[in-house]
Structure 1
Amino acid sequence: MLKNRLLLALLCIAALLYVAVPRLPVTEDGLAGWFAIAWIVLALMAVGGNMAAIMYLPKRKRMVQKAKLAQVKRVRLRQYQ
């Protein structure tokens, strides 16, 4: 479920980049050029964040499962004491 959401976010960001990059005035002087560069950097950071989340998703799942297992063990130990 989470992986599907991350892939959808990547797809939306790719579509935004595909449409916006040719129209952004990157080579202009002044505020327009700075805005275009900042927008591209922000979009690339969003892509990087989603890619990192996709790559580290299985590891995070294992950590969550281990934490849940440890919690269940603690509850069982309390029941026996």
Structure 2
Amino acid sequence: MPTGRIELKLRKVSQLFNTLDPSPFRESELALDAEDYIVGRAQELPIDAPVAIVIHLPSDELSQASASDIVSR
């Protein structure tokens, strides 16, 4: 079965996370807008399809330590 892709184009990694959450970066909650978008797109995919979330960032943002914290392959 093909993988469903959910793509996000962001200016900064911080757009993904709730800025009011006092937790360390790796433990922060997703921003409500990001969560709603991801869940909404996932609900459009077949229920048994694997999902890949692809995050596009500007090259200068990729060099930030926070960008490497969200990379998983």
Same-fold call, TM cutoff 0.5: no
- The structure showing larger relative contact order (alpha-carbon pairs under 8 Å, at least 6 residues apart) is 2
Q: Bigger radius of gyration, 1 or 2?
A: 1
Normalized against structure 2, the TM-score is what?
Answer: 0.31
Bigger strand share: 2
Bigger helix share: 1
